[in-house]
Structure 1
């Protein structure tokens, strides 16, 4: 089944923001220990101790969680196993957030040399040491699980071929195989020293995307996703996502989630002058719909909420982008290109999702109009850095910032140039609200083919964004 990850010592703490409530950050700390070892020691904070509880067991490791709270109006710290961890927890004034996506690659990610793979994590760690981040937003593809279906008879040829009517025993064996495969990948990323140092000091908020399940989940044919193998794969991915991206299990979700039953995994955080929204663009996805009833109910409830300040809308696939229908028409005409059809159908701009895309853009426009409110969309997915602007009228704009990937190597520069040419056509799915793709500060091309992450800052003059590009360095600030 490919490379196994061997847990030889405790991994963690990995911090997650459960919610903000009454001036407190509700936090979870995740730990992974080898089987047979003592549980992790208690966390020490403000004279109190919090003992981790067992969340899940795997063949060679046990997963633990400690829930606790710290103030959200000032910096603070907690101690664990003799080390004190400083938390830049002041959500009330000047604020810095980091945004990352695409932490891996489709093929051979477990075999990559660590310092090459995690070079941008090391840069982000150094940036935190220079000026601390209060939160780390992860915009999708936290792991690349594409290879975990290999090595088992039922899923070896996924999604091209499916076994006829597998037995319940065979499916249970597949579930175990997949569950262990997901574990290997999450444990490996949390053990990487560059990310581990940050993850112990900066609470994370995560939104999943397709590679956290399998390439193209939801854009594959219904005969695949609704098959017994497909549903076993989704169930294992979902359990792993709850565990390793939210330090949670079914029936135990943090209060930020819109659906306590987790039929969809969208969530929202509300801080003074700031709202962070992350709709789930995978759980309810089909070839004809990006979100289902639960996702739309969450977004419409948030649109009706009066929220002063700024909204950061995490859209795991870019909300604003070029006219992909042109590319889809080309692909249908060229047989060897048809394997990329699922990749295009994954996007809001696909012909299959045009009406739903308009609905989301209209919702975002209305959110901005009724609150005289600022909204910025954050996306990953495309392994390039770019930005786009939709004109909302009366001098207001929707900014979209794309930062991708933190570990995934960049595609060829020719692909960035091709997308730039496609983007030059412009796009106006909502009449009177044209979308334009713009270069990053200091760049001439619309798309930058370098690994990158995003820094979001709130200061006296409002919000701004900078990209740290692997070769080009930190961009100038873009006012939002």
Structure 2
């Protein structure tokens, strides 16, 4: 049979004169990508669970230019599709010496697949809206799309996916009837979501990186040690882990790696060389779901990653899989991964951007509530601890504030970076051995189904602005009853009351304060962070009923 293009092409990383293109095909094939100007690359597909994938490295791209490209499977051209109404897909490269060239990052999280269920209609998809605008205004093409979690929902499936589950599940299966479990079932989520025509075109022409949040596996994934213990008793959970993490590695994580990182990744080399990588990926998925313990410095697999774009450093953190869940020593990142993060925070750059699926700075009342809950959950009184654990799960109290040591450590790192000076963990060496503070520090987040901009206050003058930029959802919604609660959680009187509750549990006051600079926005939205010289500009745009974008926040900050 002639191979067809099922998903893709996805333009993932563009690094110097090379780019990576990801595809899924219907049959084994030799995939070739040819770009204008003579740049090209090819790769054979690899097979896993009866599905076929390739990651093609295109080499020889000219700097500071746009290259339209074509994809062939066994010499049959499959992209651009015949009769496509969309503009050509292009690979845009940056100038070889691009220190002064601005960087534009598009970001957001929480995107349900576009097909609608009967009786439930979501507001317009922000990625669809952005894609249509980019077709009309290609000169505003961003450098990178940063997707911050919940790219697919394993536990909230569409009617179409649930029909598939009913038809293909074995009789007597005790897996949840409305949730995906196996790798094969996960493929239906990506097929449903990533074949949306406008989004498919956007992915083919704007480079993207991605990190998971909980819904790629299940709501509240790795909330606590007792949560893990309870989930382990479910007969279907180990298969969900194997399928979820295996499919995430194939569909999302592989594209986060540069060509050099791909060449150094042992699993990718094994999978690429195997006749059938099913067993490899199944064992990998099962084995890497082991959160680090307080006394273990090993990381089963590092999902966090970093890259540089001009004078901007982006570090994207795993907030889920490798958490330390040991009571009394909870941490958002294990020791080895935290050390890696610290090493990435050192370097020669102007702007530091940290991708964190969970916001570092939450509405203050919610922050204090989560800090109180962590203290109660670790109470020596078993009844209080059980009560705290129950609340933690019911109300999703598991953001940075619920990992208090990590919250404080991240703030301390930002403080030391922002102060610069001799001995600080800053950046370029200046006169007298001092370090120059970065021009800005921005934390990009999602998860909470509303968007806002907040600025951290460290209690003294500091040149470097430290900002929390939260944009969520891209295509979902927050229940109407929760919106007033989220609004009032920003109010100082409410925050003071909840802070008193946290204080009664022995929680010390945070060393920093933060102020919201934009009103909470509850519609579907997409964010843009533009970094130009020493200036940063953060914009959040929501979707109107007719599917267009409109501005809901615009903040400029600089030293």
TM-score when normalising by structure 2: 0.68
Q: Indicate the larger mover: 337-346 or 181-190.
A: 337-346
2:338 corresponding residue in structure 1: 296
- Match of 1:103, SS? coil
Tell me, yes or no, if the aligned pair for 1:391 and 1:433 is still in contact at 8 Å.
no
1:375 matched to 2:448? The reply is no
Per-residue deviation, residues 266-325 of structure 1 (Å, max 9, x unmatched): 10102321100012112212543321133212112223x233300110011001122436
1:386 corresponding residue in structure 2: 452
Separation of aligned partners in 2, 1:474 and 1:56: 44
2:6 corresponding residue in structure 1: 10
Tell me, yes or no, if the aligned pair for 1:258 and 1:267 is still in contact at 8 Å.
no
Work out which of the residue numbers 156, 160, 175 in structure 1 matches 2:176: 156
- Match of 1:425, SS? helix
Work out which of the residue numbers 100, 118, 135 in structure 1 matches 2:108: 100
- In structure 2, the gaps of 5 or more residues are 71-76, 81-87, 268-299, 378-383, 427-436
Shift of 1:128: 2.7
1:33 matched to 2:39? The reply is no
Work out which of the residue numbers 149, 173, 176 in structure 2 matches 1:140: 149
Per-residue deviation, residues 377-413 of structure 1 (Å, max 9, x unmatched): 0000001011221123323331010000111124323
Tell me, yes or no, if the aligned pair for 1:140 and 1:209 is still in contact at 8 Å.
yes
1:312 corresponding residue in structure 2: 353
Work out which of the residue numbers 188, 191, 207 in structure 1 matches 2:192: 188
Work out which of the residue numbers 181, 202, 221 in structure 2 matches 1:217: 221
Work out which of the residue numbers 308, 313, 322 in structure 2 matches 1:270: 308
2:554 corresponding residue in structure 1: 477
Tell me, yes or no, if the aligned pair for 1:219 and 1:342 is still in contact at 8 Å.
no
Work out which of the residue numbers 243, 248, 262 in structure 1 matches 2:250: 243
- Match of 2:40, SS? strand
Shift of 1:156: 2.7
Per-residue deviation, residues 347-376 of structure 1 (Å, max 9, x unmatched): 1112xx112211122122223333311211
Mapping of residues 345-424 of structure 1, within 5 Å = 345-350=397-402, 353-368=403-418, 369=420, 370=424, 371=426, 372-373=437-438, 374-392=440-458, 393-396=460-463, 397-412=465-480, 413-421=483-491
Q: How many pairs align?
A: 441
Tell me, yes or no, if the aligned pair for 1:139 and 1:314 is still in contact at 8 Å.
yes
Change in CA separation of 1:155 and 1:463 when aligned onto 2, cut-off 3 Å? same
Tell me, yes or no, if the aligned pair for 1:29 and 1:247 is still in contact at 8 Å.
no
- Match of 1:234, SS? helix
Shift of 1:30: 1.6
Tell me, yes or no, if the aligned pair for 1:389 and 1:399 is still in contact at 8 Å.
yes
Separation of aligned partners in 2, 1:416 and 1:432: 20
Per-residue deviation, residues 210-241 of structure 1 (Å, max 9, x unmatched): 11121111115131455574343223222111
Separation of aligned partners in 2, 1:460 and 1:390: 22
Separation of aligned partners in 2, 1:435 and 1:216: 27
Work out which of the residue numbers 21, 29, 44 in structure 2 matches 1:53: 44
Separation of aligned partners in 1, 2:119 and 2:59: 36
Separation of aligned partners in 2, 1:79 and 1:464: 31
Separation of aligned partners in 2, 1:254 and 1:218: 31
Change in CA separation of 1:205 and 1:104 when aligned onto 2, cut-off 3 Å? same
Q: Indicate the larger mover: 123-132 or 84-93.
A: 84-93
Tell me, yes or no, if the aligned pair for 2:22 and 2:255 is still in contact at 8 Å.
no
Tell me, yes or no, if the aligned pair for 1:88 and 1:133 is still in contact at 8 Å.
no
- Match of 2:205, SS? coil
Tell me, yes or no, if the aligned pair for 2:353 and 2:442 is still in contact at 8 Å.
yes
Per-residue deviation, residues 94-132 of structure 1 (Å, max 9, x unmatched): 232211211118xx9774799967631122113434211
- Match of 2:396, SS? helix
TM-score when normalising by structure 1: 0.79
Change in CA separation of 1:339 and 1:265 when aligned onto 2, cut-off 3 Å? same
Q: CA RMSD in A?
A: 4.0
Shift of 1:459: 3.1
Separation of aligned partners in 1, 2:182 and 2:492: 39
2:285 corresponding residue in structure 1: none
Separation of aligned partners in 2, 1:395 and 1:404: 29
2:291 corresponding residue in structure 1: none
The structure number with the bigger radius of gyration is 2
2:432 corresponding residue in structure 1: none
1:63 matched to 2:53? The reply is yes
Q: Indicate the larger mover: 466-475 or 413-422.
A: 413-422
Separation of aligned partners in 2, 1:49 and 1:258: 21
Mapping of residues 431-446 of structure 1, within 5 Å = 433-440=511-518, 445=519
Change in CA separation of 1:293 and 1:256 when aligned onto 2, cut-off 3 Å? farther
